[in-house]
Amino acid sequence: MKPALPLRRDGRHADDLRSISVVRSYTKMAPGSVLIRAGETVVLCTASVDESLPPWMKSETRGWVTAEYNMLPGSTSPRKSRERAGKVDGRTTEIQRLIGRSLRAVVNLDALGPRMITVDCDVLQADGGTRTLSITGGWIALADAIASVRDKLPVSDKPVFHSNVAAISLGFVTGDLLLDLDYSEDSRAEVDANIVMTGAGEFVEVQGTAEGRTFSRGQLDSLLELAAQGIGRLTAIQRETLGEAWPLGARR
């Protein structure tokens, strides 16, 4: 019998998520607004609706979903310099593109009509997993924003959402496979991954990197299997958070 792994510094088992809390309607101005916390990582996700499209889509009848991501100066120690227009670093650009791709993957843009929804993910406190938490919370904010314009959507026999989407980080730390890494674990990981999946179990994005050593096909399979378990739990949290506002399965 394989011996049990020692508990992690916060008392979790290897396959446990961090403690997650979600507050909807956290701010008043955006139709979708979610404060989401996983352990010590805290992200504010707001979704705003613009009844026009970006210039490159002016002739389109479909909609668009995009995202912006930012780590506020006080989210880390030492202080992170504030990013200014035209001076966004490569990491920020990569992450906000990931968030946008992930959200669009589950939206029927034709059913959204000619409008744009921007999901802003602002990290208030960073302790690992900021990009994945932004996707998980960003989808809840997006669902609320789309619900706010339900009466304006074009008539369609297809729902706006194909599925929900969530994301999780995980990796091998000192040889052990751990789910939902905090910073102390992520910074020591020999292999780390960020997995984005739909609630239906389909992959949106798989990012896996050998930081300290290479990994085998079997280890990759283990990563994906554990990620799917974590995404299932996150989907349950999204469903519980939205309650009667859960948008899947309902047609206009």
In a domain, residue 247? The reply is: no
Q: Establish if 40 belongs to a structural domain.
A: yes
CATH of the domain at 201: 3.30.230.70
| Within-domain flag for 1 | no
Residue type, 52: S
- 192 token code pair: 């780390």
Whole-number Cα distances in Å, 148 to 44, 50, 109: 19, 12, 16
Q: Which of 84-98, 146-160, 198-212 has the lowest mean pLDDT?
A: 84-98
pLDDT at residue 250 in the model:
45
pLDDT score, position 85? 66
Which of 113, 111, 132 shows the shortest CA–CA distance to 39? Answer: 132
Whether 83 maps to a domain, the answer reads no
**Residue whose C-alpha is closest to residue 71's, from 130, 122, 138, 133:** 122
Residue at 41 is within a domain? yes
Measured in degrees and rounded to the nearest 5, phi and psi for residue 78 equal -70, 170
Is residue 144 in a domain? yes
**Rounded (10°) angle between helices 130-148 and 217-242:** 40
In a domain, 5, yes or no: no
2 confidence band (pLDDT: 50, 70, 90): low
Query: What pTM was computed for the model?
Result: 0.94
pLDDT band at 3 (very low <50, low <70, confident <90, very high): low
Q: CA 15 to CA 9: how far, in whole Å?
A: 14
Digit-coded pLDDT (tens) for 230-252: 999 999 999 999 999 999 864 33
Note whether residue 229 is domain-resident. Answer: yes
The whole domain housing 174 covers 20-77+88-242
* pLDDT 10s digits, 81-104: 887 766 778 889 999 999 999 999
Single-letter amino acid code for the residue at 135: I
**What is the C-alpha separation between 155 and 158, in angstroms, rounded?**
9
Q: Which amino acid is at 101?
A: R
- Number of independent structural domains in the chain: 1
